[in-house]
Structure 1
Amino acid sequence: MKALCWTGVNKVAVETVDDPVILNDQDAIVRVTLSTTCGSDLHLLGGYVPTMRAGDVLGHEFIGEVVEVGSAVTKHRVGDRVVVCSFISCGRCWYCRNELYSLCDNGNPNAGIPEMLWGQAPGGCYGYSHALGGWAGSHAEYIRVPYADQGAFTVPEGVSDQRALFASDAAPTGWMGADLGGVKPGDTVAVWGAGGVGQMAARASILLGAERVIVIDRYRERLAQVERVIGAETMNYETTDVLPELRELTGGRGPDVCIEAVGMEAHHDGADFAFDQLKQQLRLQTDRPTAVREAIFAARKGGSVFVLGVFGLFVDKFPLGPLMNKGLTLRSAQQHGHRYIPMLLERMARDELVTEHLATHVMPLAEGPEGYTMFKEKTDGCVRAVFQP
């Protein structure tokens, strides 16, 4: 079959790879109908995640049709239209029983790698390096789905593929940030990043009752989507001094909840960005925490900060003093999507949550390399490139 593979730093190519097969009686084989790029993929492309191998199939956010099931699969049958959570969990270990699905003890067969890096291993993720399991990704004609009864969810009739696609990762990730960040009715919420995850965090905050939601970015097309589709306020950090403006908008306090949806390659127009970028390129630090720093300084005393962006290892000049002295709650996680996807699909069916506007560029899988270039460079207003195998 054809698949979009990582072939080196900032290099991807459509190659012929082996078709997936059932290896475990809990597996399903899914014919991919749509698969999308994600901002965290750019960390793989740029070589910031060191456990990629040439020929690895990329992609972790997808929807498709079940074409084969293992003998132990009971919830799905051939022909079902399913969206699959990007993180792989067994549903039976201690972490899964406590709804910490991305921390599953059995989803990552390469647990030794992250244990060496982080002390303990998270679960596995499709197409996201050998540190997270070495699982083949979704930018392909077919994909093997382990623990299919746990990770695949039937899409309701009437919900389009383009809408349901983002229930795989962007929507549950964003919802988790608002939920575990503690958003409650009447809150003011600030979200750094107007990509797919940031927009979904903003929409989740609104649906959870936040009084004001402000999304911070520099790309006008994305900010326009936030205002038009999500219904949140926006702030362009290239034309606005973010910290005093947030203080002004909140009566001098700062936002109740700050959600960072940018990750290890954050951009900023201040001098600290050049310093961070240089240290990252020299591998003196692995990540640029610009947006996390700003979120910590912005949050009101006693507020909370939730980090949704992907980070790898070490950062420099982390503002631990402000975090402690302001009494902030800092949380983060890879997405516990299994907790949220059924509810999100119901909201999609009721038109409370729309996501298809994120698919700004839909193209054949054969144009995947061009799609990733467009997505990385943010050309032509690209928010997400979506591939049709």
Structure 2
Amino acid sequence: MPATVDALAHADDLADFVAAAPSSFHAAAEVARRLTDAGFTALDEREPWRAQAGGRYLVVRDGAVLAWVLPQSVRPDVPVRVLGAHSDSPGFVLKPRPTTGRLGWLQAGVEIYGGPLLNSWLDRELRLAGRLVLEDGSAVLAATGPLLRLPQLAIHLDRSVNDGLALDKQAHTQPVWGLGESESADILAELARDAGVDAARIRGYDMVTADAARGTVFGRDDVFFASGRLDDLASVHAGVQALLVASADHDADHIAMLAVFDHEEVGSATRSGAAGPFLADVLERIGLTLGADREERMRALASSWCVSSDVGHAVHPNYPDRHDPVVQPRLGSGPILKINANQRYATDAAGAAAWGGWCAQAGVSSQEFVSNNSVPCGSTIGPITATRLGIRTVDVGIPILSMHSARELAGVSDLWDLARVAETFFRG
């Protein structure tokens, strides 16, 4: 079925969002920008918080951001509906003393972040993006245009490459970014120039690589969307769009909240990750602003929901044996409900029933995802959130191909349908 006008517009806006969010820090900043432009109030964790019925708020912690909307008839034990996602993606991180090179080539010293498909990063123009911390402790965002490339060895110099490509994680993953000698160049100066600061002021940095190409719609009837960082900016973007729509007239009996965490790809165990205290801290502070005592806060959590949204595997036409022989999600057939008997996903029967209800209300078809028993599956922020807070949690997402590639593949209609269900979830 051809993509609808609404779905195509959503995909085009997602391409803009990904381009503005090459790092987790940029993603948090772009979420904050879109929400504050719509009237949300940005809070500072170091300052006292005040709240009023119907208020719309957000707070940024490093590469994570939480945003929420209070109902008009707010009470101390009001429950929360959290849509959780993450802002980071697999790739490469700039090492200390990053300006390297040999044989007249300038190279960047990088370390592998998470579990990227290494071969997918070859022969692409890459950006560097992240934050620079200056001598006074202030932080500025920086993002280059196309700057780096990991050039693959020509087939003439490796005749067996098509029989099996093996990349050494140190020797073969250091990208080139110019010509000359490393003693007379400084890749940090490139970043400082973008940020408009003096390179001598830089005292620390968190910099990652990102694909420089913009996301694009293609295929027969415009059914496909390819982009970097769909894992998991597709969910972040859907959550932002849904919260903006739902917040315009939010009159439900719960708090609608978007929770975007960092460091999911490396275990979430950081101050801005789902295993850290960020969500618990903010929920406690919201309760305090509403005058809730501990009993009321516990009642609120017991009545709350978390939808953990992340990508899952669509059935691959060239590798059908890697998937469950019966449950085979397809692009263009709707968002997925993620299920795992060993609790790598937090979905249970109650969550499956609730998800089915939200999809039905939104007029969206859903599909199930379960792994082949011989192929262990990954995990998400879902089990972490459920364990930390005791909130009923369901794991969902969209099906994609090329997960953890520098450029992943999704269905245009699935992206739009996820946002529609997220809006229904927020509205209640």
TM-score, normalised via structure 1 length? 0.27
More strand by share: 2
Q: Which has the larger radius of gyration?
A: 2
